[in-house]
Amino acid sequence: MADVPVEYKIRNAKLNYDSKASRLEALIIRPIWIILIMIVGSVYSFIYYIIVMVYMFVGMILGAINGITSVLLANRLEAHFNWGVKTLEVSFKYFTKVGNYFSRRGPYMMNLTDQRPPLGMEEDAKTESGASIA
Protein backbone atom coordinates (compact mmCIF):
# COMPACT_ATOMS: atom_id res chain seq x y z
CA MET A 1 0.00 0.00 0.00
CA ALA A 2 1.28 3.48 -0.86
CA ASP A 3 -0.09 6.93 -0.19
CA VAL A 4 0.03 8.96 -3.36
CA PRO A 5 -0.56 12.70 -2.99
CA VAL A 6 -3.46 13.50 -5.30
CA GLU A 7 -3.77 17.18 -4.49
CA TYR A 8 -3.77 20.23 -6.65
CA LYS A 9 -2.16 23.04 -4.68
CA ILE A 10 -2.18 26.59 -5.95
CA ARG A 11 -0.05 29.09 -4.12
CA ASN A 12 -1.70 32.29 -2.96
CA ALA A 13 -1.28 35.51 -4.88
CA LYS A 14 -1.93 38.96 -3.48
CA LEU A 15 -3.87 41.35 -5.70
CA ASN A 16 -4.46 44.98 -4.89
CA TYR A 17 -6.95 47.13 -6.76
CA ASP A 18 -5.35 50.05 -8.53
CA SER A 19 -7.58 52.39 -10.53
CA LYS A 20 -4.63 53.83 -12.45
CA ALA A 21 -3.76 51.98 -15.61
CA SER A 22 -0.75 52.56 -17.81
CA ARG A 23 -1.58 53.11 -21.48
CA LEU A 24 1.92 52.06 -22.51
CA GLU A 25 1.54 48.85 -20.51
CA ALA A 26 -1.90 48.12 -21.99
CA LEU A 27 -1.11 48.89 -25.62
CA ILE A 28 2.46 47.71 -26.09
CA ILE A 29 4.08 45.90 -23.21
CA ARG A 30 1.20 43.63 -22.07
CA PRO A 31 0.52 42.03 -25.50
CA ILE A 32 4.22 41.29 -25.95
CA TRP A 33 4.52 39.97 -22.39
CA ILE A 34 1.45 37.73 -22.84
CA ILE A 35 2.99 36.21 -25.97
CA LEU A 36 6.25 35.60 -24.06
CA ILE A 37 4.33 34.06 -21.13
CA MET A 38 2.54 31.71 -23.53
CA ILE A 39 5.79 30.69 -25.24
CA VAL A 40 7.65 30.08 -21.98
CA GLY A 41 4.68 28.24 -20.46
CA SER A 42 4.38 26.07 -23.57
CA VAL A 43 8.08 25.17 -23.40
CA TYR A 44 7.71 24.19 -19.72
CA SER A 45 4.59 22.18 -20.57
CA PHE A 46 6.35 20.36 -23.40
CA ILE A 47 9.42 19.51 -21.30
CA TYR A 48 7.30 18.27 -18.40
CA TYR A 49 5.11 16.29 -20.82
CA ILE A 50 8.19 14.52 -22.24
CA ILE A 51 9.39 13.65 -18.72
CA VAL A 52 6.00 12.20 -17.78
CA MET A 53 5.78 10.28 -21.07
CA VAL A 54 9.18 8.66 -20.40
CA TYR A 55 7.90 7.53 -16.99
CA MET A 56 4.73 6.19 -18.61
CA PHE A 57 6.65 4.37 -21.35
CA VAL A 58 8.80 2.57 -18.78
CA GLY A 59 5.60 1.84 -16.86
CA MET A 60 4.07 0.25 -19.98
CA ILE A 61 7.10 -2.02 -20.39
CA LEU A 62 6.92 -2.99 -16.71
CA GLY A 63 3.17 -3.51 -17.12
CA ALA A 64 3.73 -5.96 -19.97
CA ILE A 65 6.31 -7.85 -17.90
CA ASN A 66 3.93 -7.72 -14.94
CA GLY A 67 1.13 -9.17 -17.08
CA ILE A 68 3.32 -12.06 -18.19
CA THR A 69 4.46 -12.82 -14.64
CA SER A 70 0.87 -12.58 -13.41
CA VAL A 71 -0.19 -15.25 -15.91
CA LEU A 72 2.83 -17.51 -15.47
CA LEU A 73 3.54 -17.14 -11.74
CA ALA A 74 0.22 -15.78 -10.41
CA ASN A 75 2.23 -13.01 -8.79
CA ARG A 76 2.56 -9.25 -9.40
CA LEU A 77 5.87 -7.42 -9.54
CA GLU A 78 6.47 -4.96 -6.72
CA ALA A 79 8.74 -2.94 -9.02
CA HIS A 80 5.79 -2.23 -11.33
CA PHE A 81 3.70 -1.02 -8.40
CA ASN A 82 6.50 1.22 -7.11
CA TRP A 83 7.11 2.63 -10.59
CA GLY A 84 3.39 3.33 -11.03
CA VAL A 85 3.31 5.25 -7.76
CA LYS A 86 6.41 7.22 -8.79
CA THR A 87 4.82 8.00 -12.18
CA LEU A 88 1.69 9.37 -10.49
CA GLU A 89 3.77 11.50 -8.13
CA VAL A 90 5.87 12.93 -10.99
CA SER A 91 2.87 13.64 -13.20
CA PHE A 92 0.95 15.41 -10.40
CA LYS A 93 4.03 17.44 -9.52
CA TYR A 94 4.74 18.65 -13.05
CA PHE A 95 1.13 19.24 -14.09
CA THR A 96 0.60 21.25 -10.90
CA LYS A 97 3.70 23.33 -11.68
CA VAL A 98 2.31 24.20 -15.12
CA GLY A 99 -1.09 25.04 -13.63
CA ASN A 100 0.57 27.27 -11.05
CA TYR A 101 2.65 28.97 -13.74
CA PHE A 102 -0.37 30.08 -15.75
CA SER A 103 -2.57 30.78 -12.70
CA ARG A 104 -0.02 33.14 -11.19
CA ARG A 105 0.21 35.10 -14.44
CA GLY A 106 -3.54 35.23 -15.03
CA PRO A 107 -4.21 38.53 -13.21
CA TYR A 108 -1.67 40.34 -15.40
CA MET A 109 -2.94 38.66 -18.56
CA MET A 110 -6.54 39.65 -17.67
CA ASN A 111 -5.50 43.29 -17.14
CA LEU A 112 -6.27 43.24 -13.40
CA THR A 113 -2.88 44.65 -12.51
CA ASP A 114 0.06 46.41 -14.15
CA GLN A 115 2.55 44.48 -12.00
CA ARG A 116 4.42 42.32 -14.52
CA PRO A 117 5.09 38.72 -13.40
CA PRO A 118 8.44 37.06 -14.09
CA LEU A 119 8.66 34.83 -17.15
CA GLY A 120 10.54 32.02 -15.40
CA MET A 121 9.12 29.25 -13.27
CA GLU A 122 9.06 30.03 -9.56
CA GLU A 123 10.93 27.88 -7.09
CA ASP A 124 8.85 25.43 -5.08
CA ALA A 125 7.33 27.05 -2.01
CA LYS A 126 7.75 25.49 1.42
CA THR A 127 4.87 24.98 3.85
CA GLU A 128 5.13 25.41 7.61
CA SER A 129 5.90 21.70 7.98
CA GLY A 130 8.70 21.95 5.44
CA ALA A 131 6.81 20.02 2.76
CA SER A 132 7.27 21.23 -0.76
CA ILE A 133 4.43 22.77 -2.73
CA ALA A 134 5.00 22.74 -6.46
**What angle in degrees, to the nearest 10, is found between the helix axes of 30-73 and 78-109?**
170
- Between 128 and 105, the more confident residue is 105
Range of the domain at 107: 23-28+42-113
11 in a domain, yes or no? no
35 in a domain, yes or no? no
Where on the phi/psi map is residue 66: left (φ > 0), alpha (ψ -120 to 50), or beta? alpha
Q: Model confidence over 61-96: pLDDT tens digits?
A: 999 999 999 999 988 888 888 898 889 889 988 988
54 in a domain, yes or no? yes
% of the chain exceeding 70 in pLDDT: 82
- What does the pLDDT read at residue 93? 87
How many domains, the chain?
1
Measure the CA angle with vertex 102, ends 101 and 106; round to 5°.
125
14 in a domain, yes or no? no
5 in a domain, yes or no? no
97 in a domain, yes or no? yes
**What rounded mean pLDDT belongs to the chain?**
83
36 in a domain, yes or no? no
Once rounded to an integer, what is the mean pLDDT over residues 24-32? 89
